[in-house]
A and B are shown apart, each in its own frame.
Chain A
């Protein structure tokens, strides 16, 4: 079925719809991801809630889909936009094809798009909202719909509805789930932690009542400045002296709780090749990233910037002064992407109170 993506600025990209049925136009924020592998992890990353993801690598679907590679229970992207999808995957572990998976989960996808041209457009204009409709739908109507679209409370859409626990007998780590990727939890469990995952709107008192040895503020979708309750929660947790580790959205919330700000980037960072330098050592890492906002205006008397992006100099990590708390903008849990910074989980767990270990 021929369909089209219309951006809020009126630019039109025609393609072939596949995956979920396109019954009515759908809207979302259009972002591009530059990873060459890991499409399934991207689809199921809750941080992509509300976003239509364009894959810059043209051949997508080559190795199929398998349940174990999902980063959450279901795909969260609003739509999936590719150039040349593969309907005959080949991999020993594949349990099915991309198109079927998208169809089963009702995710609309477009194929045959010049994703490079679309990416260049987004790079030039900055992230834009877009609407996908069938070819016959009026382009102006779609552009208007895109422009009118508002994301809503994305974190509420993706967080766990209720708390649950997994893992072993080691330190107790509470993960505040703003849209956590599974590999955060898997990484902690692999280090022997007992992990309690709590909903995003859990207040600090409730978290502290769980007697955590440490707390992780997870990744998640959307604008951090809208999450006023979470910011207050983080502030209280910081004051409590419990060790904190923030990832992506969790990092942004930490900065906000410290009096810093976040600003929307032109087109964000979405990929698995983002270079980050650790300032103290000069060491550099290739990281997975997925964010549209960056931390700014940190008070150096409150927090130290520990990592910077080697491409654009944006803040990639901070350490709170006089508190056992740090956070990173990138994703040490990877999935997809390189595990170069996976040691951060180890470092976090290692600094938890000895008695707990």
Chain B
């Protein structure tokens, strides 16, 4: 069937902020979908609150609404745009849930909006546990014994009948939120209580644990004509029991014979037909490792993280095809984008092995529970491709960007502890397995203890055995490379050094060749410009005479380096192509738009290490490399690449180094007479104490060898400082501790484009939270509302001076702290930043494109930006926009939700409105913090915050909230004439657990010292989904927003195209 002629306008729902369980994959899916729908001549209206995405660029849809993903705001958009159809299956669980909510609220019926693709009835069949189970039983597909539970007694009854362990899965939650495996009655009660609370419909599934079974996934596509294909199957290396998002996954399956493969494929088709999927669907199955038995685990009737992985693993664009199916096309009518001549009705076949390894945030959250279970904890993932399993595995490990160049032992554990670590899955299990093999454990023994198929353990063992051969000099280099050993690892084992191995390879001609990912195992001619490296074969990446530039991507999504950096990479690629250059991207994140093979002229799916990047450079012979758009991962490669004679374009590596090296940067500031908080580097506790005494407490301390605010803390007194030094950091002369005066002022941030002589500052961002909260965790507002013209001018001037002094060409990001009238520089990043996508959207200045043009020597003036005195700073817009952090607390147990200098958020939303209060209000709505009037706020303040806290509490009360408080705080409130229920910590905990508290405002009693009551309360609140605010600034902003005029959907929704137009007219163009 052709595209339905009754469709003119189609609405697409995005997935909102990046949280654990829902990351960049939905930007990839949404972007593809928008392109696919517009290709069919449809007008596309998009709603998504996440400003950091490509899909929310003005060019991606006809109307882009960066509005909260709530029923109210979606209805307002529908009322304004009047779409005929809605695509709900491209925005992850959030999109699906919103579509269901819109239907339930009668909105879709009221406006005559049809849900396209898989119908709502089908979505419910897949998502509602009870309906799903009934559907499976109806068609005879086996599901594990289970019971749908709405109250605790039902769960206990089932446990009594079936026995433990049991798996608990809440209905309609992301990434298995709130679920778990219960081995004891206590665990059962705890997990069920949490699950019931977190499920939006108060429903959990309690089921027999299939722990240890093989976990297999199929990505299936089906169209309205009942044509069905399987794009890909995948096998989890970790057996059932570890969430698939936390599992190492390989594609295609490795240990299934053809009967297994086809039986499960047929089951997947059977299920997808019963649900009535029209589009893409992920089917998860458990296969008994010792028989033909299998069970259906779950079905996701939408594009997903797995479908993004399957798309990248095979080259088949699932989201694009799903979007076309939704508007009426058949798989046999959709053109196969790889061959260009055949149809989308085909099953890809691979001639390589694909490996996915999750990227976990435990480097940031030292206190987090690292064990892996049914609740997903990874923030991102990497993918690697090779012709051998071993090669793919080792490449994936390198891609994680956690300092591993191979399967190195994580720490020196004694044998019994190692055995324990192997058997209990956490993020390091792969490394423990390798170490256990090194110490002589057998493959069979380890397979038995872990439930990991012996085939996989054997492959890891192959790597370990090869290491031993390398140590004795018996392994030949080309075999080592086929097994995926990096030069660094080979250099480290016999002590030869990476450079020596590289020279040896160069001498003996051991170089990788590049193979194409073409969906068809070379059966048909394909032109997909998508390559991976393999040793010992023919090279397919033919030289292309057109000049090219290599763009380094940013690798896996992690805290501090998220989707914003993929945004930069993608725009850099596009800008290069517009400039007539061939753009080549290197990246390893399967979730992203940058690794869509249609983004760049060539995509190399490779680790971002010196060796892997140099190998590509040797093949491509680029005129230069862009290191400033891929976050710190790419910046870190600038110096080594430069050292190898590679032209780093834009800001020189030397300039980058001067910005990043503390000593050099201080000298630059001194020369320019720019102030920065006083401080110094200490190589011992004594030295730290001397510096602290000089600059005075409180001080900000952090190790010098990590970036991005990791392990940074504020110490309020000498005890704090001692505790920090003794507890957290190894302090040595090689790894000194940085101790700085803590300036408690306003944090201000600038992203600018420099052409070496002038700077373009599209706008200044002011943070709501005072200095001390990491900039990534702060609410940022544009335009700034409390900065004087003088301060703004100082900021602009300092930006210009620094850009000139460091020779910045391209992007830079500077963080300032403004204390009264004085401006201090905190840090300068010679690269794209977290805030670039947001600023691009709200100012209408295409920052990355401007930066790339500057890098290509086109001055800002020549680009049309008038820079009097070297500065182009457009006037403020007639609106206010804010960017708010979103956290994934619910997924990470034992992590303190208190904000500080260490970044903890995983994603962002934005709010925009005619006033500051309205922008804030939308932002709070978008991140789910907009508590209603009549809600109860529990307030617990540190003594030093009581005076200020009382003002905030009064504002909350004025906004219609009821107050409750811990005894001391209640007393202060009473003194100020505010009535609040006084609750002891125990009573407060009970009130939180009983659902009587909707907001918790809590300031930390002391800097470092973790007060047990506060921590317990914060965690309890978080686990039950109660927002916790630990900064009074955030709470004050919330009070302001709640008090804003109008109802919950005050103001009409704003499309990006509306404010873009108003911005362009005032963007300072000459």
Q: Which residues of A contact B (CB under 8 A)?
A: 32, 34-38, 40-41, 56-59, 62-63, 66, 69, 83-84, 86, 88-93, 112, 114-117, 119-120, 123, 271-273, 275, 277, 282-284, 286, 310-311, 334-340
Is there contact, CB below 8 Å, between B257 and A37?
Answer: yes
User: Is B904 interfacial (CB 8 A cutoff)?
Assistant: no
Asked if B538 is at the interface (CB within 8 A of a chain A CB), the reply is yes
Shortest C-beta distance, B1064 to chain A (Å), equals 47
Q: Measured between C-beta atoms, what is the minimum distance from B481 to chain A in Å?
A: 14
Residues of B217-234 whose CB lies within 8 A of A: 225-230
Chain A residues near B789: list those with CB within 8 A.
Answer: none
Q: Which of A37, A89, A115, A283 touches B226 (beta carbons < 8 Å)?
A: A283
Q: Which of B254, B330, B345, B347 contacts A59 (CB 8 A)?
A: B254
Establish whether residues A119 and B523, one from each chain, have CB atoms under 8 Å apart when the complex forms.
yes
Contact residues of B between 319 and 337, Cβ < 8 Å to A: 330-332
Interface residues of B in 277-293 (CB under 8 A from A): 289-291
Which residues in A have their C-beta under 8 angstroms from that of B454?
88, 90
Q: How far is the CA of A54 from the CA of B655 in the complex (A)?
A: 53
How near does chain A come to B168, taking the closest CB pair, in angstroms? 29
* Contact B349–A339 (Cβ < 8 Å): no
**B265 CB contacts on chain A under 8 angstroms:** 338
B954 to chain A, nearest CB (A): 67
Chain A residues near B260: list those with CB within 8 A.
37
Could you tell me the distance between the alpha carbons of A310 and B345 in the complex, rounded to whole angstroms? 8
Which of B428-436, B514-522, B683-691 is the contact stretch?
B514-522
* Nearest-neighbor residue (CB-CB) of B349 within chain A: A34
> What 4 pairs across the A-B complex have the smallest Cβ distances?
A114-B537, A38-B258, A90-B455, A56-B521
Apart from A114-B538, A340-B269, list 20 A-B contacts with CB within 8 A: A32-B523, A34-B521, A34-B523, A40-B258, A56-B349, A58-B351, A58-B353, A59-B353, A63-B255, A90-B458, A92-B289, A112-B536, A271-B523, A273-B349, A277-B345, A284-B345, A286-B347, A310-B346, A338-B265, A338-B266
- How many angstroms from the CA of A275 to the CA of B334 in the assembled complex? 14
Contacting A at CB under 8 A, from B507-558, are: 515, 520-525, 536-538, 540
Min CB distance A349 to B, Å, is 20
Alpha-carbon gap, A304 to B265, bound state (A): 32
Q: How many A-B residue pairs have CB under 8 A?
A: 151
**Contact B227 A69, beta carbon cutoff 8 Å:** no
CA distance A340 to B332 in the complex (A): 16
Instruction: Verify B262–A334 contact, CB threshold 8 A.
Output: yes
Q: Is B650 interfacial (CB 8 A cutoff)?
A: no
28 CB contacts below 8 A, A to B, read A36-B252, A56-B351, A58-B387, A58-B388, A59-B353, A59-B389, A63-B256, A88-B454, A90-B455, A114-B538, A116-B515, A116-B521, A116-B522, A116-B537, A116-B538, A117-B537, A119-B521, A120-B522, A123-B524, A271-B349, A271-B523, A275-B347, A277-B332, A282-B332, A283-B227, A286-B230, A338-B265, A339-B262
B residues near A (Cβ < 8 Å) are 225-230, 252-262, 265-266, 269, 289-291, 330-332, 342-343, 345-353, 387-389, 453-455, 458, 515, 520-525, 536-538, 540
Measured between alpha carbons, how far is A86 from B389 in the docked complex, in Å? Answer: 11
Please determine whether B538 and A117 come into contact, CB atoms closer than 8 angstroms.
yes
Q: List the A residue with the shortest CB-CB distance to B515.
A: A116
- When chains A and B are docked, how far (Å) is the Cα of A58 from the Cα of B385? 12
Q: Complex: how many Å from CA A335 to CA B259? A: 8
A310 to B332, Cβ gap below 8 A? yes
Residue of A nearest to B443 (CB): A88
Q: Which residues of A contact B262 (CB under 8 A)?
A: 334, 336-339
Q: How far is the CA of A35 from the CA of B261 in the complex (A)?
A: 11
Closest chain B residue to A42 by CB distance? B258
Q: A114-B537, A117-B538 given as contacts; is B257 within 8 A of A36 (CB)?
A: no
A315–B81 Cα gap in the complex (Å)?
48
Q: A36–B345 contact, CB under 8 A?
A: no
B346/A273 in contact, CB under 8 A: yes
When chains A and B are docked, how far (Å) is the Cα of A93 from the Cα of B292? Answer: 9
- Contact among B226, B229, B349, B524 with A36 in the assembled complex (CB-CB below 8 Å): B349
Residues of A within 8 A of B537 (CB): 114, 116-117
Q: Is the interface of B mostly helix, strand, loop or mixed?
A: loop
Complex Cα gap A115–B534 (Å): 13
Q: Assuming the A-B contacts A63-B257, A92-B291, are A58 and B352 also in contact, with contact meaning beta carbons closer than 8 angstroms in the complex?
A: yes
Q: Collect the chain A residues with CB atoms within 8 Å of residue B522's CB.
A: 32, 56, 116, 119-120, 123
Chain B residues contacting A56 (CB-CB under 8 Å) are 349, 351, 521-523
- For B252, the chain A residues whose CB sits under 8 A away are 36-37, 57
Q: Which residues of B contact A41 (CB under 8 A)?
A: 258
Residue of A nearest to B455 (CB): A90
Complex alpha-carbon distance, A86 and B459, angstroms: 10
Residue ID in chain B nearest A63 by CB atoms? B257
Chain A residues contacting B342 (CB-CB under 8 Å) are 275, 310-311
The residue in A88, A93, A283, A338 that gathers the most chain B C-beta atoms within 10 A of its C-beta is: A338
What is the CA–CA distance of A277 and B253 in the complex, to the nearest angstrom?
27
Q: Give the CA-CA distance A336 to B260 in the complex, in Å.
A: 11
A275 to B348, CA, bound (A): 11
Residues of the A chain whose Cβ atoms lie less than 8 Å from the Cβ of B388: 58-59, 84
**Minimal Cβ-Cβ distance residue in A for B259:** A69
Q: How far is the CB of B262 from chain A (nearest CB, A)?
A: 6
Given the interface pairs A36-B349, A117-B537, A311-B342, the reply to whether A284 lies near B332 with Cβ below 8 Å is yes
Most buried by A among B332, B523, B524, B540: B523
Chain B nearest CB from A84 CB (Å) reads: 6
B290: contacting residue among A59, A92, A283, CB under 8 A: A92
Select from chain A the residue with minimum beta-carbon distance to B227: A284
* A-chain residues with CB within 8 Å of residue B520 when the two chains form the complex: 34
A175, chain B: closest CB distance, angstroms: 22
Chain A residues lying within 8 Å of B345, measured Cβ to Cβ, are: 275, 277, 284, 310
In the bound complex, how far is the Cα of B260 from the Cα of A273, in angstroms? 16
Q: In the docked arrangement, what's the CA distance between A303 and B368, Å?
A: 70
Closest Cβ neighbor of A336 among chain B residues: B258
- Kindly state the separation between the CA atoms of A35 and B258 in the bound complex, as whole angstroms: 9
Once bound together, how far apart are the Cα atoms of A90 and B289, in whole Å? 10
Which of the listed residues A93, A114, A275, A283 has the most CB atoms from chain B within 10 Å of its own CB? Answer: A275
CA distance A310 to B342 in the complex (A): 7
The interface residues of chain B lying within 8 Å CB-to-CB of A273 are 346-349
Kindly state the separation between the CA atoms of A311 and B344 in the bound complex, as whole angstroms: 10
Residue pair B343, A275 in contact (C-beta under 8 Å) = yes
- Residues of B close to A40: CB separation below 8 A: 257-258
Q: Do residues B229 and A310 form an inter-chain contact, with CB atoms below 8 A?
A: no
Given A62-B455, A310-B332, A37 contacting B258 (CB threshold 8 A): yes
The answer to whether B266 and A115 have CB atoms under 8 Å apart is no
CA distance A334 to B265 in the complex (A): 13
Cα of A311 to Cα of B257 in the assembled complex, Å: 27
Interface centre among A40, A83, A311 (most CB of B within 10 A): A311
Closest to A276 in B: B345
CB proximity of B837 to chain A, nearest CB, Å? 38
Given A62-B255, A83-B387, decide whether A35 and B331 contact each other with a Cβ distance below 8 A: no
Q: How far is the CB of B286 from chain A (nearest CB, A)?
A: 15
Specify which chain B residues have a CB less than 8 angstroms from the CB of A37 in the assembled complex: 252-253, 256-258, 260-261
Nearest-CB distance from B353 to chain A (Å)? 6
Closest to B525 in A: A123
Which residues of A sit under 8 angstroms from B353, Cβ to Cβ?
A: 58-59
Q: Determine the distance from Cα of A59 to Cα of B387 in the docked complex, in whole angstroms.
A: 8
Q: In the bound complex, how far is the Cα of B255 from the Cα of A335, in angstroms?
A: 17
CA separation between A192 and B419, bound complex, in Å? 54
Rounded to whole angstroms, the CA-CA distance of A89 and B351 in the bound complex is 19
Of A35, A271, A286, most buried by chain B (CB within 10 Å of CB) is A286
Closest to A57 in B: B351
Please report the C-alpha to C-alpha distance between residue A122 and residue B458 in the assembled complex, in whole angstroms: 33
